[in-house]
C-alpha cells in the first residue's frame, strides 16, 4: 500500500496549508448528522437547568417552540423526547407509559400540530421513566421479565405512533421486541413508522446524568446488567444487531458513543444499514465540565463528534446538537 519512502515520501506535504488540508479531509459533519434530545417537564413556562448536565435544560410543553424553532433554524432533522415523569405517577408497572395524556404524548401532539413534518420526532420505548423502581421492564420475583415487558412496549409503541411519532426507538434491550413491535405497527396500519433500535446498548455508568435528568436515578434499584450488554463484549453486539435487522429495524444505535467507537466501526463494516451513535449524558457532562473548568478548550466538542463520523456513524444523538452552528464554525 505504501509506495516510496522518506525522503521522497513526506506525508506532511499534504498538510502544509489550510486549503490543502481542506482538500484532503476524509470526513465532514453537518447539521443533518444530528438528533437533538429534549427533556420534558410538567408545568408551564418552565426551562429548568439540570445540575448534572450543564447547558442542558428541561422544557415544559409550552416552551418547546423555543428549542424546536432553534433546531429547525439550525437544520437538525430530528428531535428525541425524554419525559421527567412526576414521582406520583410512577408505579411498579410503569402504567403512565400507556396514558395517552402523558407528557410525551402531549408533546408529540403539540409538535406535530405546530411543525407538521418539518422535523422528525423520535421517542424511546422503555418503561424506566415511568417505573417506581427505575427499570426498563417489569419485575417479577426480582427478575426483569422479558415477554411480559414486550406486551407493554408494544402498546407504548402503538400509542406513540398514534400520537404522530415518526421514529419508534426501543431502548429497553428486551429480546425479540423489534419483531413484535414491527408486527403490531404493521397490523395497526403504521407501516411507515420507522424503527430505530437501540440494538447495541451497554450497561454503562455513562448514563448517570440522564437518569438524574429524567428523575430515575434515585429510584433505580440495582443495575441493568441482566438486559443491557456487558461492555467486555463485541461479538455479542454483532449478534444483537443482526437479530434486530432481521426483525425489522430500519436503523440501529450504538450506545454509549465514544468508548464504543470500535463497535460502531465493526457494525458499519458488517451491515450496510444506517448506524447511529449516542454521545450519552456522561460523555457530555465530562466534556462540558472540563470545558467550564478550562481544563480543555471547546474544540474538544468538534473533535469528539468527528470521531463518530470517522468510525462510520451516519448520525449522532448529542446534547450539543442545539449549539451545532457554533461547534461547526
Binding-site size, ligand PBG (CB under 6 A): 11
Q: Is the dihedral of CA 89, 94, 96, 102 positive or negative?
A: positive
Residue 85 near ligand PBG by CB under 6 A: no
**Region binding ligand PBG by CB under 6 A among candidate stretches 3-11, 16-24, 204-212, 266-274:** 204-212
Residue 96 near ligand PBG by CB under 6 A: no
Residue 126 near ligand PBG by CB under 6 A: yes
All three cell numbers of 53: 448536565
Taking the complex as a whole, the smallest distance from the CB of residue 133 to ligand PBG amounts, in Å, to 12
Instruction: Identify the three-state secondary structure at position 139.
Output: strand
Residue 33 near ligand PBG by CB under 6 A: no
Applying CB under 6 A, among 102, 157, 171, 194 the residue interacting with ligand PBG is 171
Which of residues 115 and 178 has its CB atom nearest to ligand PBG in the complex? 178
Which is the catalytic residue, given 84, 90, 180, 201? 201
Is 288 in contact with 313 (CB distance < 8 Å)? no
Residue 103 near ligand PBG by CB under 6 A: no
Q: What is the CA radius of gyration of the chain?
A: 20
Q: Is the dihedral of CA 252, 258, 259, 262 positive or negative?
A: positive
Is 31 in contact with 282 (CB distance < 8 Å)? no
Which residues, in sequence order, are CB contacts of 309 under 8 Å at separation 6+? 27, 28, 29, 33, 316
Residue 156 near ligand PBG by CB under 6 A: no
Residue 207 near ligand PBG by CB under 6 A: yes
Which of residues 126 and 199 has its CB atom nearest to ligand PBG in the complex? 126
Is 84 in contact with 56 (CB distance < 8 Å)? no
Is 316 in contact with 305 (CB distance < 8 Å)? yes
Residue 124 near ligand PBG by CB under 6 A: yes
Residue 211 near ligand PBG by CB under 6 A: yes
Do you find a cis peptide bond into 275, omega within 30 degrees of 0?
no
Question: 201 an active-site residue?
Answer: yes
Site string for ligand PBG, 262-301 (x = CB under 6 A): ------------------xx--------------------
The closest of 119, 82, 78, 131 to 103, measured between CA atoms, is: 82
CB atoms within 10 A of CB 298: 16
Q: What is the DSSP letter of 276?
A: E
Which of residues 104 and 115 has its CB atom nearest to ligand PBG in the complex? 104
**Region binding ligand PBG by CB under 6 A among candidate stretches 98-106, 121-129, 137-145, 264-272:** 121-129
Question: 225 an active-site residue?
Answer: no
Query: How many CA atoms within 13 Å lie on the side-chain side of 40?
Result: 25
Catalytic residue numbers? 201, 255
Tell me which residues touch ligand PBG (CB under 6 A): 124, 126, 128, 136, 171, 207, 210-211, 224, 280-281
Amino acid at each position: 500500500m505504501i509506495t516510496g519512502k522518506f525522503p521522497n515520501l513526506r506525508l506532511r506535504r499534504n498538510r502544509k496549508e489550510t486549503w490543502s488540508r481542506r482538500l484532503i479531509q476524509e470526513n465532514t459533519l453537518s447539521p443533518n448528522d444530528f438528533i437533538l434530545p429534549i427533556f420534558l417537564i410538567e408545568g408551564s413556562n418552565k426551562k429548568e437547568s439540570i445540575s448534572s448536565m450543564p447547558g442542558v435544560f428541561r422544557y415544559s410543553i409550552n416552551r418547546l417552540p423555543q428549542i424546536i424553532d432553534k433546531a429547525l433554524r439550525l437544520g437538525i432533522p430530528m428531535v428525541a423526547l425524554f419525559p421527567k415523569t412526576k414521582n406520583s405517577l410512577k408505579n411498579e408497572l410503569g402504567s403512565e407509559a400507556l396514558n395517552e395524556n402523558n407528557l410525551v404524548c402531549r408533546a408529540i401532539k403539540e409538535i406535530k400540530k405546530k411543525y407538521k413534518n418539518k422535523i422528525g420526532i423520535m421517542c424511546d420505548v422503555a418503561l424506566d421513566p415511568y417505573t417506581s423502581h427505575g427499570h426498563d421492564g417489569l419485575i417479577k420475583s426480582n427478575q426483569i421479565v422479558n415477554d411480559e415487558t414486550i406486551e407493554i412496549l408494544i402498546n407504548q409503541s402503538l400509542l406513540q405512533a398514534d400520537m404522530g411519532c415518526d421514529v419508534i426507538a426501543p431502548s429497553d434491550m428486551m429480546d425479540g421486541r423489534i419483531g413484535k413491535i414491527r408486527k403490531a405497527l404493521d397490523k395497526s396500519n403504521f407501516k411507515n413508522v420507522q424503527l430505530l433500535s437501540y440494538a447495541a446498548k451497554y450497561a454503562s455508568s455513562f448514563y448517570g446524568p440522564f437518569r438524574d435528568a429524567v428523575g430515575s436515578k434515585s429510584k433505580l434499584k440495582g443495575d441493568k446488567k441482566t438486559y443491557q450488554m456487558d461492555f467486555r463484549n463485541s461479538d455479542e453486539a454483532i449478534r444483537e444487531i443482526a437479530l434486530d435487522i432481521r426483525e425489522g429495524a430500519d436503523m440501529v444505535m450504538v450506545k454509549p458513543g465514544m468508548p464504543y467507537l470500535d463497535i460502531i466501526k465493526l457494525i458499519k463494516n458488517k451491515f450496510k444499514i444506517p448506524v447511529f451513535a449516542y454521545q450519552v449524558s456522561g460523555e457530555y457532562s465530562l466534556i462540558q465540565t472540563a470545558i467550564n473548568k478550562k481544563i480543555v478548550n471547546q474544540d474538544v466538542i468538534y473533535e469528539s463528534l468527528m470521531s463518530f463520523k470517522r468510525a462510520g456513524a451516519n448520525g449522532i444523538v448529542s446534547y450539543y446538537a442545539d449549539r451545532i452552528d457554533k461547534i461547526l464554525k
